[in-house]
Chains A and B, each alone.
Chain A
Amino acid sequence: MSKDNQVLEELTSKEYEHGWTTDIETDSAPKGLNEDIIRFISAKKNEPAWLLEWRMKAYQQWTKMKEPTWANVKFPEINYQDVIYYSAPKQKVTPKNLEDVDPELIKTFEKLGISLTEQKRLTGIAVDAVIDSVSVATTFKETLGELGIIFCSFSEAVQKHPDLVKKYMGSVVPVNDNYFSALNSAVFTDGSFCYIPKGVRCPMELSTYFRINAANTGQFERTLIVADEGSYVSYLEGCTAPQRDENQLHAAVVEIYAMKDATVKYSTVQNWYPGNKEGKGGIYNFVTKRGLCYGDSSKISWTQVETGSAITWKYPSCILRGDNSMGEFYSVAVTNNYQQADTGTKMIHIGKNTKSRIVSKGISAGHSQNSYRGQVHIMKRAEGARNFSQCDSLLMGDQCGAHTFPYIDVENNTARIEHEATTSKIGEDQIFYCLQRGIDEESAVALIVNGYAKEVLNQLPMEFAVEAQKLLALTLEGSVG
């Protein structure tokens, strides 16, 4: 066995840090999916009739659809009847403010480094904290309210802002867009809602933190962000889950609607439980994220750092409808052990002089498979459209795979499209150079990988960038190739 392989075999990657569970009583639906379960969820949430109807339609459509098979991932068949579709931490009263929230839950988030109580003083980030199926707390609501910004759980938005929800939900990701979006539309339980009024620049980062806690439970949340004319918001999303031997399903939908001159930046650091070193357990992450640049000169920028999940199936996309609108996708996807990631983006150019930029950095280690899948579509009307794509792959060791599937459709010959792709390996030479300067091997890998991903990490808000750097290092710990 070569030395490279030996080091890889020794792969003592640090155990997943957030694998613990919180011992809290939950209020759950029985396993399985049928119309009664959907009625149960809708009733639990005290929903208006139109929403139950919407769910039922989605369910009907889902039953006629098939799980997609085109992604470069392999997994045993999912038994959708073996999943719990609703699980909520039992709270004695419905919390009106933080003082009413169960201290166990506050502790749970504190353990994750997210302080709901001290949030106000410490970081200047507003947080919506979601456990399993429901949002448990949203901070900073009042401050934001003064600017007319609505930031609350999806359930609350349904109650308090039904017109906005009704108008925009499903307008970017139609119910029947794909198998998982239909499933989500039928059974979604909570998520975040955000509306930024005309001309308002949101003064702080908004963030949702998702935590799956209960066993055998799927998490199906929806996030809807509506940015009115000339507004700006930067949005963060983080997630973790306990370490469990069985796979757990996460099928979310995120919709962003940007009007004229609005800018939305959406950043994710995805750290779902990836399964153990032999590939047992872990989250199946099947997520539909899409932004609509509806108005002229609007801009939507996706940044994602994907380190967790057993399987990632995710293509944050932009529909560039408005003239001069712009879409960006910056991604670092790391896979180690037996993780599989099939991720990328779609940039659909409809308006004139629309621009898109794609920077994808894949890092594969262990026995993992890492695929970039991207589509750039320039439609007939998109006079003067431009796209730049850069897709790099970094391999660590020789047991893993990196794949690139770029699709380009051009229907307007004034389009300018550039595509660059590279594949490289972390060299023994680079590692030795670091060692010779007194830097240990783990730090050397962290340094090299962070250097490689720098262009993407630079897009993240400061606090998140630091967390992301540590996470990259942690995911790859020990896997020198």
Chain B
Amino acid sequence: MKHRYLPMTEQDQKEMLNVIGVSTVDELFSDIPEKVRFKGNYNIKPAKSESALLKELAQLSKENANSDDYASFLGAGVYDHYKPVIVDHVISRSEFYTAYTPYQPEISQGELQAIFEFQTMIAELTGMDLANSSMYDGGTALAEAGMLAAAHTRRKKLLVSGAVHPISHDVVKTYAAGQSIEVVNVPLKDGVTDLAALQELIDADTAAVLVQYPNFYGQVENVQAIADVIHEAKGLCVVSSNPLALGILTPPGKMGADITVGDAQPFGIPESFGGPHCGYFAVTKKLMRKVPGRLIGETIDDEGRRGYVLTLQAREQHIRREKATSNICSNQALNALAAAVAMTALGKKGVQEMATQNILKTHYAKEAFEKAGFTVVFKGAHFNEIVVKCNTSVSTINKGLFEKGIIGGFDLGKVDAALENHALIAVTEQRTKEEIDALVQEMGALHA
């Protein structure tokens, strides 16, 4: 069969089989036992031409409501943010996207240097000593942080704040089950981790406390106070953090975090129905040799020129096999590149301006909701999310909003029965004052 991806002609095939010394292709598969040989063709859809497939899938994509066409107030870990156009141009350079892991540094300096820069930017934002080259996503990064803490402290219990994203919380539990690590939920008070309850729960077997900053409900946790408490018991403080918020918020590294993880999706990475995004993993120097995944380091070549290589590989699966610090191999390199380009474009001032706009627009929404008679629960400091109490079910409200071109907030009743009829509203810099006003007005109308 002829196909634009398959260059072998009949003539080529004849010549090649001749060199191999067989007369038919089938002979090359003669080592597959007759009993298990698959006969015939897969029962799958027939091939489509380039334009027919484009057309079909363009049509299919239109069956999805997207955040270009709708004003989205849905966040809960994935956000509609400003994506500098330049990001997609850079990651579309196929020297980057068609390369494998940079195992041959002499012809991979571009990738290595770009990710070294990514590591630096994440370290700068989080205030940590160093960061790795990426993890799958924020949720698995948090789980791996918990595993690292347990291995490092040789303790078997993780305390997870009730204000950690419930989905990440679930991922932590799955990983912990594999390692026979106990996961205990820390209750909340006023939408933030209850310090007194935390203190009660910490014991000699507590490896770490895992908190989110800003937390799932948009509230800014007092990481320093949590770190002080867990450090007293010689456990680690693990913080999951939206890196955009760190444009304005005091970085976890300055508040006692031992490990800071999160997802760089807010930096130039599309929502993409939840993936691929880009987990990051940053630590203090003392945990450097326990970090999962790839690290890129600076060195010199035989003529003294500066260059970059994969380093400290004695932690990794291809060297250490069953004794590796993690099983991760492929990570999210291209999205780390995307995030690096976005962080570069925003730069020192842009991250602050964008983070500030998120806070101020959310603040504006909060006041508008209150003026319209809604209760905004949890009174602490917020970043770009607030919890709004409604009179009716959030799913009913969201259906009404959708009719008006708005994607409403996350229905918190789905994760916490006590928060039925509460919506988690995210307001990013993308939302205009008119859109916020419209949201409040429509919700007011639906809620009445």
Chain B associates with chain A: no
